[in-house]
Structures are given as C-alpha cells and as structure tokens.
Amino acid sequence: MPAHDPTVRPLALALVAASVVACAGIPRQRVSLAQDVGPEPSATIERTPAVAPLRIAVANVVSPKESFRTYQDLIAYVGRRTGRPTELIQRGTYAEINALLRSGNADLAFVCSLAYVQAADERSAELLVTPVIDGRSEYWSDLIVPVASAARSMGDLRGAVFAYTDPLSNSGWLAPAYALWGSGEAPAGFFRRTIYTYSHDNSIRAVADSLVDGAAVDSLVYDNTIARDPDIARRVRVLARFGPFGAPPVVVARGLSAARKAELRSILLGLASDPAGVRILAALRIDRFVTLEDRAYDTVRQMRDALAAAGLFQP
C-alpha cells in the first residue's frame, strides 16, 4: 500500500483535518428512518420493538450529509416494502463497512468494487445487485488534475502531492497504484507526498482548489459533481482514465437468510417498474439495478492479487 505522509502543506492539512472530523463524527452515527417512510398513509408500517431493524451501511464516498440525502429515500422505500424499520449506518471507511458485514452488524451495504472483492473473498458478503448508470454497469477511475496543471500524463506527476480516497477504494487507490506498478514505478516512491481524503468529493475539491496536484476518483462521482457544479468543471480536468470495472455494487451479509436476500434483490430490481421507485432512481442518477455475476469484478481481483504478491497491498 502506498506510503502515507501526513506532513503535507498547510492547506492540505486543513483538508485532512476535515476528513478526520468526518470519519470520527457524523459518519459513525446511526440514522433511523422508521418514523418517516413517506406521505402515503397506506404505506405506513406498524413499528413494534419486537421487529428488528434492517441495517443498511454506507461508506461516505461523498460527504456524510450528502450520503444521507442520497440514500434516505431509497432506504425508506426498502423499509416500506419489507415492513421493517430501517437504520442507516454511516462509516468513514470501507474497512469499517466490511467489518460491519463480517460481524453481522449490517444486513445490506453500498460498497466499492475492491471492498466487495475483499468481503466476498473473506466470505462475509455476497453480491446482490449492481446499478446501471447511463446504460452501463461499469465505471472508471478518473485521474484528475487542476485545469492549469502542466501534466499531460500520469508520468508528469512524479514528485507531486497526490490524493487517494480510501485504502480499499478501487477507483481511489487500487487502479492508479496498479497503473504505476504496471509501468515499472513503485507507488510508494513515485509521489512526493500522498494523503487520504476518505471521500471522492473531498478529493475533487482538493484538486479544484489546488490543495493537491492530482487525485484518483470514482468516475460516477466525478461526472455527477461536474454536472451539478459547473465551477468545478472549469477548474478540474481528467488526465487519464483507468478501467472499465464492474460498478460499485450493493451487497448483503452472507449470514442473512436466503429468503431475505431474495426479497431485497426483488425490491431493488423492481424499482424501475414502480413510479415511486423511478423517482428515487432518477434522484440517484441510476437507470436501474441489475444482477451481475461475481466475474464482473475479476479485473479488480486480479489487480489486487498482483499488488498483494508484490507486497504492495495489505488489507
């Protein structure tokens, strides 16, 4: 895994401090959506203490508040359809989400491709569904730089200050590290300094504000960010793109009953045929959910295994 040097320049330190606050504070809270599941009286569920909540975990690939806004309607919808209270559990890292799945303290989770591969290989989670966005169930790792950067290739970032997202992020760490290793470079020594921002939007802002010289981010988050914020689009450009990879999936804890897994899969697959579900999908910028085979993530698994064999990946 690439060396992490905390002695970054003062403005970057402010970014890191903000990330630490996010990981130590808001992301660790549990948010119950049982009391507000929608305006339709017929959809109101009778809540009793005997009904265990459905625990849905989300890593904050975007800011904690944005993560809550992004998922709250979907999670409330799942609660209505299952007749169970729902609980959103936010964490700051993918490792924490995988730990929840491993311990049985989360039933369903939104994770990235590398976090899924790790959890699947540890036999703590199973693939449930994958989103289709703009007609594809794939995404890329975007290597981004400030628009004024002189860099024209990844090689031009030698000696730069670079932002990774999370040690278990495919797009935010694995893909660029593998690209460096594949070109004969040592990921730990290529950059002068590296930081972890623990969310893709933090990384995008760090590049836009020239706090770092470059970053690797989820292409889905990047495309959504520049679509919503033209100012960011004017200050950041994509230098390179790695992929494609199987899109970040929705997974379930392996210990969940087969009936519950089938129910949750049916609910998510059926969103696109329900007017309320269509509205939720539109807000998420998702066309629909589909089922994929585990082999869709073999490229991620192969990159991880290659770096692990070289002693560069230690989960």
pLDDT of residue 65: 67
In percent, how much of the chain has pLDDT > 70?
82
pLDDT of residue 67: 64
Least confident range from 133-137, 163-167, 282-286, 294-298: namely 282-286
Residues 6+ apart with CB under 8 A from 65: 26
Least confident range from 5-14, 49-58, 195-204, 238-247: namely 5-14
**pTM beyond 0.75, yes or no:** yes
Residue 312 has pLDDT above 80, yes or no: yes
Least confident range from 11-15, 17-21, 166-170, 202-206: namely 17-21
Confidence label for 182 from pLDDT (cuts 50, 70 and 90):
very high
Confidence label for 37 from pLDDT (cuts 50, 70 and 90):
very low
Residue 47 has pLDDT above 50, yes or no: no
Residue 17 has pLDDT above 50, yes or no: no
pLDDT of residue 64: 61
Confidence label for 99 from pLDDT (cuts 50, 70 and 90):
very high
CA angle (248 as vertex; 17, 269 as ends), nearest 5: 130
Residue 30 has pLDDT above 50, yes or no: no
Distance of CA 206 to the CA centre of its chain: 18
Mean pLDDT of the 134-163 span: 97
pLDDT of residue 68: 73
SS (H, E, C) the chain: CCCCCCCCCHHHHHHHHHHHHHHHCHHHCEEECCCCCCCCHHHCCCCCCCCCCEEEEEECCCCHHHHHHHHHHHHHHHHHHHCCCEEEEEECCHHHHHHHHHHCCCCEEECCHHHHHHHHHCCCEEEEEEEEECCECEEEEEEEEECCCCCCCHHHHCCCEEEECCCCCHHHHHHHHHHHHHCCCCHHHHCCEEEECCCHHHHHHHHHCCCCCEEEEEHHHHHHHHHHCHHHHHHEEEEEEEEEEECCCEEEECCCCHHHHHHHHHHHHHHHHCHHHHHHHHHHCCCEEECCCHHHHHHHHHHHHHHHHCCCCCC
Closest CA to 238 of 310, 195, 176, 288: 176
Residue 313 has pLDDT above 50, yes or no: yes
Mean pLDDT of the 129-146 span: 97
What does pLDDT average to over the chain?
85
> Over the stretch 217-276, which tens digit does the pLDDT of each residue have?
999 999 999 999 999 999 999 999 999 999 999 999 999 999 999 999 999 999 999 999
Q: Which residue has the higher pLDDT, 291 or 21?
A: 291
Instruction: Report the DSSP pairing between strands 138-146 and 125-132.
Output: unpaired
Q: Taking a C-beta distance cutoff of 8 angstroms, is the pair 125, 85 a contact?
A: no
pLDDT of residue 60: 75
pLDDT of residue 63: 60
> Phi then psi for 130, rounded to 5 degrees?
-130, 140
> Over the stretch 268-296, which tens digit does the pLDDT of each residue have?
999 999 999 999 999 889 999 999 999 99
Rounded Cα gap, residues 189 and 197, in angstroms = 19
Closest CA to 47 of 73, 90, 88, 82: 82
In percent, how much of the chain has pLDDT > 90?
76
> Over the stretch 54-72, which tens digit does the pLDDT of each residue have?
999 998 766 666 667 778 8
Residue 119 has pLDDT above 90, yes or no: yes
Mean pLDDT of the 103-132 span: 97
* Tokens 């339709």 found at: 40
**Across the strands, what pairs with 136?**
133
pLDDT of residue 188: 85
Q: Which domains does the chain have, with CATH numbers?
A: 10-17+137-246 (3.40.190.10), 25-133+248-294 (3.40.190.10)
* Tokens 């990981």 found at: 23
Rounded Cα gap, residues 174 and 189, in angstroms = 16
CB atoms within 10 A of CB 237: 16
